Structures are given as structure tokens and as C-alpha cells.
């Protein structure tokens, strides 16, 4: 299966949408912009929580006693912050370009916004696969821990 970009297609200069379709797409893009701002605020609050967690943990007092559980927790928290920020950026990019492309009646700008939306959903698809794998590992480790030899 070929992974063609929407920009590879022969695009006409103007969009051929009705006025109500454009208005509804602009409203959708405005909601996407609102959601991306909420995601940015969420990532900033996660950064704040991470700093508070780091300051309050015992590893901040003694750097020599960092165990594997704390290290994994810190790395997962940092990964979650970065992934949330990346998702917010892609969604904001879609929203801004979609509004601009629809208001200027420019097909190429609108196609670029659809590419941003495509990368947003591709990102969340990969993210969900990774979360599912981590959940399977978690439940498998619980199964192994509880079904071990009994003394």
C-alpha cells in the first residue's frame, strides 16, 4: 500500500465548497484550535506537576538512591509531556491552516492542514498501540507475579 500525500494530487486553485460547508469546516477548525489550546495547557500543567513531583521526591535529596521504579516513572512522565505537546502542536497547525485555507479559498493551504490532521491521527494511533503494549506487559507481569511458585 502506497503512502501518498494529499499534496501529490493535482489540486485546483480554489475550493469548491458551499458557504455552509465552509462555515461548518471553519467552526470545526475553531473547536480544534480550542482543543489544542487545552492540550497545551494540559502539557504545561504536567510540567508543573513534574517539577513538584521531582522536588518532593526523596531522589531530589539523595541522588545516589534512585531506584528503577522511580527512573521508569520519571521517563514515562517526560514522554507523556512531550507526546501531549506534540499532539497539541499538530492539532493547532491543522486548525490555523484550515481556517486560513478556507477563508482565502486556497486549496493548497487547506491540503497542508489536512496533512497536519493526518499526522495528528497517525501519532495518536501509534500512541494507542504503545499504551496497549505497556498495558499487556503490566498485566502479564501481574500474572507472573501472582502465579509463581507457592511456598
Spell out the per-residue pLDDT of the chain, length 151, in tens.
455 655 555 555 555 667 787 888 888 899 999 999 998 998 888 888 888 877 766 555 555 566 666 677 778 888 888 888 888 888 899 999 999 988 888 888 888 888 888 888 888 888 889 889 989 998 998 898 888 776 6
**What local confidence, expressed as pLDDT, does residue 87 receive?**
86
**What local confidence, expressed as pLDDT, does residue 81 receive?**
86
**What local confidence, expressed as pLDDT, does residue 2 receive?**
57
**What local confidence, expressed as pLDDT, does residue 16 receive?**
66
Residue 68 to residue 23: CA distance in whole angstroms: 52
**What local confidence, expressed as pLDDT, does residue 145 receive?**
85
Residue 38 to residue 34: CA distance in whole angstroms: 6
CA nearest neighbour of 126 among 95, 83, 96, 85:
83
**What local confidence, expressed as pLDDT, does residue 52 receive?**
80
Which residue shows C-alpha cell 505537546? Answer: 85
**What local confidence, expressed as pLDDT, does residue 4 receive?**
60
Residue spans per domain, the chain: 17-123
Residue 10 to residue 73: CA distance in whole angstroms: 48
Is the Cβ–Cβ distance between 53 and 144 less than 8 Å? no
Q: Helix axis angle, 19-56 relative to 68-104, nearest 10°? A: 160
Q: What are phi and psi of 117, to 5 degrees?
A: -65, -35
Amino acid at each position: 500500500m502506497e503512502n501518498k500525500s494529499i499534496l501529490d494530487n493535482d489540486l485546483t486553485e480554489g475550493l469548491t465548497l458551499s458557504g455552509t460547508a465552509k462555515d461548518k469546516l471553519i467552526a470545526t477548525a475553531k473547536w480544534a484550535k480550542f482543543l489544542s489550546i487545552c492540550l497545551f495547557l494540559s502539557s504545561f500543567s504536567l510540567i508543573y506537576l513534574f517539577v513538584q513531583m521531582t522536588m518532593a521526591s526523596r531522589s531530589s535529596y539523595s541522588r545516589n538512591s534512585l531506584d528503577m521504579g522511580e527512573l521508569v516513572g520519571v521517563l514515562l512522565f517526560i514522554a507523556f509531556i512531550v507526546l501531549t505537546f506534540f499532539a497539541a502542536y499538530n492539532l493547532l497547525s491543522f486548525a490555523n491552516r484550515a481556517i486560513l485555507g478556507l477563508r482565502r479559498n486556497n486549496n493548497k493551504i487547506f491540503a497542508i492542514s489536512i496533512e497536519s490532521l493526518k499526522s495528528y491521527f497517525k501519532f495518536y494511533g501509534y500512541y494507542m498501540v504503545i499504551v496497549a503494549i505497556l498495558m499487556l506487559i503490566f498485566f502479564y507481569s501481574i500474572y507472573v507475579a501472582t502465579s509463581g511458585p507457592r511456598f
